[in-house]
Structure 1
Amino acid sequence: MKKKKFDPFENLVLDEYEQDIEDALERGEFVSDPNFAENKKMFEEAARRHIDLENSKSITLRIKKKDLIRLKAKAARNKIPYQTLINLLINNYTEGKMKISL
């Protein structure tokens, strides 16, 4: 005896909003986005950044004022926020891409 394949759409009942969308699709009222690939990349990047933010931890860090001024200046020259530069430095060190003499 052959098992019947599960169909998640069998006996599916749509609410009014869902039925309106289904009807509009069948009437051909929706068209593909001409910039689909570009928009897909944008939303994928946004999702990655959101995940990164969820995985981020906020810390308090005390540093010398002159070091912060220099750090902000270097970040400004590279047109990035100084917090991003700090994160990049920490990440490069923890990934072994940068050595620090202790």
Structure 2
Amino acid sequence: MVHDDERDDYTTSDEGEWKPEGDLREQKQKWASLARGTLDGERRRISISIPERDLAKLKTRAAEEGMPYQTLINSILHKYVGS
């Protein structure tokens, strides 16, 4: 599921693939800032199961953003819950 505020950062290609909209460097800084914000406070390790296809896409997106995929997942969750 893609939220409206995330659609501001990406558009879809003719093939239906997501591609960055605007300055990619600014987007990377935004995501890195969100990821750093998740590092504050007490931490708890969890385990989740997701389809391999989704994990592969997350790893690809994280590489594009220049961060570990776990950090990307954490920043997405942090943004979703609005903390």
The TM-score with structure 2 as length reference comes to 0.50
Matched, 1:77 2:77: no
- Alignment partner of 1:85: what SS? helix
Between Structure 1 and Structure 2, whose CA radius of gyration is higher?
A: 1
Task: Indicate the residue corresponding to 2:75 in structure 1.
Answer: 88
Aligned mate of 1:60, from 39, 42, 47: 47
Structure whose residues are more often strand by fraction: 2
Offset, 1:73: 0.2
Q: How large is the RMSD of aligned CA atoms in angstroms?
A: 2.3
Question: Superposed, which structure 2 residues align to 1:41-60 within 5 Å?
Answer: 52=40, 55-60=42-47
Q: Which has the higher contact order (CA 8 A, sep 6+)?
A: 2
Alignment partners' CA distance in 2, 1:77 and 1:62? 23
Seq. identity, %: 37
| Superposed structure 1 runs of 4+ greater than 3 Å apart | none
Number of corresponding residues:
46
The TM-score with structure 1 as length reference comes to 0.41
**Mind listing any 5+ residue stretches in structure 2 that lack a counterpart?**
1-36
